[in-house]
Structure 1
Amino acid sequence: MPRVAGKEDSDKSSNLDVVIAGSTAGVITRFIIAPLDVVKIRLQLQHHARDAATPPTYRGMFHTMTSIMRDEGITGLWKGNIPAELLYLTYGAAQFYTYRTTHVALGGFGLPRSAQDFVAGGAAGACATFVTYPFDLLRTRFAAQGSGDQRIYTSLVHAVRTIYTNEGIPGFFQGVTAGVGQVIPYMGLFFATYEPTRAFLTRHNEAGALSLSGYESAVAGGLASTVAKTGVFPLDLIRKRLQVQGPTRNKYLQKDIEVYQGMRVIVQREGIRGLYRGLGVSLVKAAPNSAITMWCYEVVLRALKSARGDSQR
Structure 2
Amino acid sequence: MVGYEKDDILSPNQKLIAGCVSGCVTRFITQPLDIIKLRTQLQKKPATGNRRFFPTTRAILKEEGVTAFWHGHNLGQLHSILAVSSQFYVYELTTKYVMNTIHPDNKGFFLFFCGIFAGCCSATLVIPIEVIRVRQMLVKAQYGGILSGARRVYASGGILAFYEGLGASLLQMGPSCGISFGVFKFVQPLILEYVAPKCQGEHCVHSTSGNVYKPEYVLLASTAAGSLAGFLAKTFTYPFDLAKRRLQISSHVEDPSVKVPKTSKDLVRCHNLFDCLRLTLKKEGFLGLYRGWKVTVYKAQMTSVIAFSTYEMICHALRDHLIPKIP
Q: Equivalent residue for 1:183?
A: 173
Q: Equivalent residue for 2:266?
A: 255
Evaluate the alpha carbon distance shift between residue 14 and residue 160 of structure 1 in structure 2; reply closer, same or farther with a 3 A threshold. Answer: same
Identity between Structure 1 and Structure 2 (%) = 28
Evaluate the alpha carbon distance shift between residue 259 and residue 102 of structure 1 in structure 2; reply closer, same or farther with a 3 A threshold. Answer: closer
Evaluate the alpha carbon distance shift between residue 26 and residue 247 of structure 1 in structure 2; reply closer, same or farther with a 3 A threshold. Answer: closer
Question: Is the Cα–Cα contact under 8 Å of residues 27 and 80 in structure 2 kept in the other structure?
Answer: yes
Alignment equivalent of 1:165, drawn from 151, 155, 158 = 155
Evaluate the alpha carbon distance shift between residue 154 and residue 194 of structure 1 in structure 2; reply closer, same or farther with a 3 A threshold. Answer: same
Q: Equivalent residue for 1:21?
A: 18
Q: Equivalent residue for 1:137?
A: 131
* Counterpart Cα distance in 1 of 2:270 and 2:242: 14
Question: Is the Cα–Cα contact under 8 Å of residues 247 and 269 in structure 2 kept in the other structure?
Answer: no
Question: Is the Cα–Cα contact under 8 Å of residues 46 and 257 in structure 1 kept in the other structure?
Answer: yes
Q: Are 2:260 and 1:284 aligned?
A: no
Question: Is the Cα–Cα contact under 8 Å of residues 2 and 312 in structure 2 kept in the other structure?
Answer: no
Q: Secondary structure at the match of 1:8?
A: coil
* Counterpart Cα distance in 2 of 1:232 and 1:4: 22
Give the partner amino acid of 1:182: Q
Between stretches 246-255 and 158-167, larger displacement belongs to 246-255
Question: Is the Cα–Cα contact under 8 Å of residues 65 and 77 in structure 1 kept in the other structure?
Answer: no
Evaluate the alpha carbon distance shift between residue 18 and residue 72 of structure 1 in structure 2; reply closer, same or farther with a 3 A threshold. Answer: same
Quote how far apart the aligned CAs of 1:18 are: 1.4
* Counterpart Cα distance in 2 of 1:226 and 1:134: 26
Give the partner amino acid of 2:102: F
Between stretches 202-211 and 98-107, larger displacement belongs to 202-211
Q: Are 2:214 and 1:211 aligned?
A: yes
Q: What do you get for the CA RMSD once the two structures are aligned?
A: 2.2
Q: Secondary structure at the match of 2:122?
A: helix
Quote how far apart the aligned CAs of 1:59 are: 3.6
Q: Equivalent residue for 1:52?
A: none
Question: Is the Cα–Cα contact under 8 Å of residues 91 and 128 in structure 1 kept in the other structure?
Answer: yes
Quote how far apart the aligned CAs of 1:223 are: 0.5
Runs of at least 5 residues in structure 1 that lack an aligned partner in the other structure: 50-54
Alignment equivalent of 1:118, drawn from 87, 112, 132 = 112
Aligned positions of 1:228-307 closer than 5 A: 228-248=233-253, 253-260=264-271, 261-307=275-321
* Counterpart Cα distance in 2 of 1:3 and 1:82: 27
Quote how far apart the aligned CAs of 1:227 are: 0.8
C-alpha distance after superposition, 1:139-197 (max 9, x if no partner)? 21111116xxxx21122210112222342221111011110111111111112211111
Q: Are 2:62 and 1:70 aligned?
A: yes
Q: Equivalent residue for 2:201?
A: none
Evaluate the alpha carbon distance shift between residue 274 and residue 103 of structure 1 in structure 2; reply closer, same or farther with a 3 A threshold. Answer: same
C-alpha distance after superposition, 1:50-90 (max 9, x if no partner)? xxxxx99x942222111110111001111111111000111
Q: Equivalent residue for 1:35?
A: 32
Q: Secondary structure at the match of 1:192?
A: helix
Q: Equivalent residue for 1:5?
A: 4
Q: Equivalent residue for 2:226?
A: 221
Runs of at least 5 residues in structure 2 that lack an aligned partner in the other structure: 199-211
* Counterpart Cα distance in 1 of 2:292 and 2:164: 21
* Counterpart Cα distance in 1 of 2:84 and 2:324: 26
* Counterpart Cα distance in 1 of 2:90 and 2:160: 25
C-alpha distance after superposition, 1:100-139 (max 9, x if no partner)? 1111111212153421331111011110111111121122
* Counterpart Cα distance in 2 of 1:135 and 1:311: 40
* Counterpart Cα distance in 2 of 1:295 and 1:256: 36
Alignment equivalent of 1:195, drawn from 185, 188, 192 = 185
TM-score, normalised by the number of residues in structure 2: 0.86
How many positions carry a matched residue from both structures?
A: 300
Question: Is the Cα–Cα contact under 8 Å of residues 250 and 257 in structure 1 kept in the other structure?
Answer: no
Q: Equivalent residue for 1:91?
A: 83
Evaluate the alpha carbon distance shift between residue 249 and residue 115 of structure 1 in structure 2; reply closer, same or farther with a 3 A threshold. Answer: farther
Q: Are 2:153 and 1:153 aligned?
A: no
Q: Equivalent residue for 2:204?
A: none
Quote how far apart the aligned CAs of 1:29 are: 0.7
Question: Is the Cα–Cα contact under 8 Å of residues 21 and 311 in structure 2 kept in the other structure?
Answer: yes
* Counterpart Cα distance in 2 of 1:258 and 1:164: 18
* Counterpart Cα distance in 2 of 1:33 and 1:168: 31
Quote how far apart the aligned CAs of 1:284 are: 1.0
Give the partner amino acid of 1:141: R
Q: Equivalent residue for 2:203?
A: none
